[in-house]
Structures are given as C-alpha cells and as structure tokens.
Structure 1
C-alpha cells in the first residue's frame, strides 16, 4: 500500500475583474466556512486595499492594514449568530472549534494560526457584524445612533398624533 501525502492545490486565487500591472501574490491563512485553516495564495493589486480585495473574495480580513488571516463570510456569520443568540463567548467558541477540528487537518497547513481567539477578539467579529448591518440596511449610513433623541418635526408630529 502506497502512502499519498497531502497535495495542496496552490494555484493563486484571482479575480478577473481588471488587468493591472501592479498585481502581486500573497500567502494567507484562510479559515473556511467550517473553521478549517488553509494556506492559500491570493492575488492582490496595488490599486486596491488588501482588505477590500479580500471582501471581494467573500473573505473577511483579520485587520484592515496588513491582514495575514482571512475568514469566510459564512464562518463569520456562524460566529456572530452564536455570539448573539446563544451567548457563547469567543474563548468557548475557539475552544470548541479547536476540539472539533481533526488532528489530521491540522497537519495539512504549515503555519496555522495557533490562537484564533487573539485574532477574533480584537474587534474582527464586531467589525464584520457592523459591515453586514450596513449591507442589509443600505439606506442607513450608520452615523446616527438609534437610541439617541433627535429633535425632528416628524417625530414631534407623530407623538402629537398619538396624544
């Protein structure tokens, strides 16, 4: 019986939206929708911020300036749903994810992120949640606090009609 080692398809992920002479390749740890980590090569362009390019790949960057980890949108939706609906802490989520991930899968990646908790707790999930809110409520620019009182004639006239 022959042993077949894991072969990583390291073809660079590209978006064919425009051709540019300032493209470059960068390796990132990509966390897929099931929480598995993959070392992938992605094509970036100097015309566009890396975080924006990752969003166009349906990946959420770990930071806006120099992301080295990216999370699939479905993974982030799963995390935010558990945080909001089940009151699961970041630490508990990451511990459960670590226990759920196969030990064999961990050997496929050469530079795994050992502590996703540190990456996620730094505001990554909160920024994603705000981003999704803005995408779903495109008419609201998010600059006004819904809890703050605003003196507007429409609000006052609505209150007067109820009295």
Structure 2
C-alpha cells in the first residue's frame, strides 16, 4: 500500500518537474526571441546610422573641397581685381570691395556649414558607439539565454530537474 502511494507521488513529481521544465523553457524561449528581435532592431539602426555617417562624411569632404576651391578662387580673384583696380580709376575700387565682401561672406557661411556638419558627424559617431554597445549587450544576453535553454533541455532530457 505504501509502495503504491510512493510510486504515485514519484509519478506526480516527475509530471510536475516536466511541467516546470516546459514552463521555464517556454519563458526562456520567449525571452530569447525578444532579445533576438531587439538585437535585430539595434543592428538595423546601426546599419542606418553607419550609412548616414558615410553620407555625412561625404558631405563634409565635399564641403572641404568646396572651401579649398573657394579659397583658391578668392586668392586668384583678389589678385586679378587688385591688378585691375590699380590700373583703373578710384571709382572702380568700389566694385572690388563689394566683390571681396561677397567672397568673405560666402567663405564665412561655408565655414559655419562645415562646423555644423562636423558637429553632426561627432554626434552620429557617439550614437553609433552607443548602438554598437547595445548590440553587443543584446548578443551577450542572447548567448546567455541560449546556454540556459540548452541546460534546461539537457536537464529535461535527463529527468533531473530540481
């Protein structure tokens, strides 16, 4: 009689352990799926940010090229205008001054734009670094959860859940 009760209790215990293992495995699988989805989203954001950074770097390069070209043209124009101004009456000097003022204003705007782009590139680089950190943390969490799922599967197969 006692053996029958013990056998029934052991059977119930095994059934409960199996249910517990299934619940734990299901919870871990769900958590793992959420972490993988979060990781996919972060990796997508990272790719988008890297693409934007490349575009910003290209824009910065173009601005720097434009700035250098403008400086070259400014020097060339100043020389030509100075030569012509020296050869003409004082009345012609007003247009030279206006041209030089326009060039300086354009150069100032270009410098301001270049600084703005450089600040944006710096901000994007910080954001990329943050996304990379988040992605690595997500990958570590996924690996940890996968290892835990594997351990639970092994225990479930061995029937030794505590």
TM-score, normalization by structure 2: 0.23
Greater RCO (CA < 8 Å, at least 6 residues apart): 2
Q: Please say which structure displays the higher CA radius of gyration.
A: 2
The TM-score with structure 1 as length reference comes to 0.23
- Identify, as 1 or 2, the structure richer in helix: 2
| Higher-strand-fraction structure | 1
